[in-house]
Amino acid sequence: MKEEKLDNIVIFKISSQSKEFISPIASKKECHHKTNNKFPILDSLAFARLPEENYLPKGNDVFQKIIKHKDSIVPDLVEKLLDTTPTNLRISDSYNYKVADISLLILPYASSKNIDIRKILFKEFKNELQYKDEEYSLFEQVYYELFFSNSNDVNYKNRIRLHKALKKE
C-alpha cells in the first residue's frame, strides 16, 4: 500500500494483481491511521469486507489475508480498536464504520477463542444497555448506540472501554 498526501486528503493506493484501488478515506485531522510494521495488511482494514452469505461467502482478499494469520494477528486487531479513521463501509444508510469497527468484526474470524462481541458489549456496558435485551436486540442498534450516537468524546471513551475489555479476554 502506498500513501500519498494531497492537501487535506490522504489517499491510499492498494495494488493487488494488476488491480489498483484508490480511496480518499479521511482528512488529515480525522485520520488516526498508524502503520503496522508487523502486519502491513492491517493498514488496509478500511477495505476489508466480511463474509456475506450470498454476496461474498468468504469475504474479500483483504479479509482473507488478515484472517490467515489467525491468533498471531489478534493483539494487533485489538490495538486497531482505537483507530477512528472513517471508511466507506456504510451501515443501514445511516453511518459509516470506522477502521476500529471493521477490526472488531474481524476478531472472531481470526481468533481460535470464541469471542462473543455481543456478550462482551453487554457485560462492559451493562449500565448503558440496561434497557436492552441481550438476546433480542439488533447488534447494529446496540453498536450504534454505544459508538456513534453520543458526542465524539463519549463515543471514543466507549471505544477505549471496549479496547480494555478485549485486552483482558
CA distance linking residue 48 with residue 41, whole number of Å = 10
Residue 4, SS3? strand
Q: How confident is the model at residue 106 (pLDDT cuts 50, 70, 90)?
A: very high
Asked if 93 and 80 count as a contact pair (C-beta separation under 8 A), the reply is no
Query: What pLDDT is recorded for position 89?
Result: 83
What tens digit of pLDDT does each residue of 132-163 get? 999 999 988 999 999 999 999 999 999 999 99
What tens digit of pLDDT does each residue of 57-99 get? 888 999 999 999 999 999 999 999 999 999 988 877 778 899 9
Average pLDDT, the chain: 81
pTM of the model: 0.76
Q: How confident is the model at residue 28 (pLDDT cuts 50, 70, 90)?
A: very low
The answer for residues whose C-beta is within 8 angstroms of residue 55's C-beta and 6 or more apart is: none
E strands in the chain? 2-6, 9-16, 19-27, 86-91, 95-98
In the chain, what are the domain boundaries?
Answer: 30-168
**DSSP symbols for 75-90:** HHHHHGGG---EEEEE
